[in-house]
Chains A and B, each alone.
Chain A
């Protein structure tokens, strides 16, 4: 069955430190991959997406993600975290049918 796994339920990072959020997918073929951020009580904001081509994808707010086919991973990174980055982050995947499957989410806490 198709699935998206985010192993970390929550992560705490000091402000200014680097961040990496993990995401693994299980699909028959390489799906389209996305990272979304959700602030409490809010909708989703797309950070970045991977369809094909360059495996290092740049997104908004200084985020980037790297697609690694051999590891079925699409990890999100940011070199220096800001307090405003505290939120819930969802990795998601979809195929040609456009149905999007979401991971369980990773809650990011930023400490001063």
Chain B
């Protein structure tokens, strides 16, 4: 089946620094990718929709200048958490929708744990 890979799986960074998380579709092209955040023992909350070659669409309440999303190719979207703070510590998950499909199946990555100290 289709595989979505996230890197890194976990990262620890100092408060005030920036950290980048990659989301790659390994065996398919994805015009659209999605970024979610999941706090401990909570559900997944959609942060933004990443569109290849155009600006991401952010959900209400998500700071676009803090969570930079770049979808430079059909297989890669990146999420950069800028000036990270401890409250940004969370589980970040991406998903991707294959471009060559008429269905509505999307594939999720394994997630990336971010801890800001």
Contacts and interface: CB of A to CB of B under 8 A. Distances in A.
Interface of A: 32, 36, 41-44, 46, 49, 51, 90, 94, 96, 98-105
Interface of B: 6, 32, 34, 36, 42-46, 49, 93, 95, 97, 103-106, 108-111, 113
25 contacts: A32-B104, A42-B110, A43-B93, A43-B108, A43-B110, A44-B44, A44-B108, A44-B111, A46-B105, A46-B108, A49-B104, A51-B103, A90-B44, A94-B106, A98-B104, A98-B106, A100-B34, A100-B46, A100-B95, A101-B46, A102-B36, A102-B43, A102-B44, A104-B42, A104-B43
Contacts, number: 48
Contacts of B45: 102
B10 to A, nearest CB: 9
Contacts of B93: 43-44
B3 to A, nearest CB: 11
Contacts of A99: 34, 46, 49
B104 A105 contact: no
Contacts of A36: 108
A83 to B, nearest CB: 21
A42 B46 contact: no
Contact of A98 (B36, B44, B97, B109): B97
A12 B105 CA distance: 30
A97 B46 CA distance: 13
Contacts of A101: 46
Contact of A90 (B34, B43, B95, B104): B43
A101 to B, nearest CB: 7
Contacts of B104: 32, 49, 51, 94, 96, 98
B106 A100 contact: yes
A110 B95 CA distance: 29
A19 B95 CA distance: 28
The 7 nearest A-B residue pairs measured at CB: A43-B110, A44-B108, A43-B111, A32-B104, A102-B44, A104-B43, A102-B43
Contact of B43 (A43, A94, A105): A105
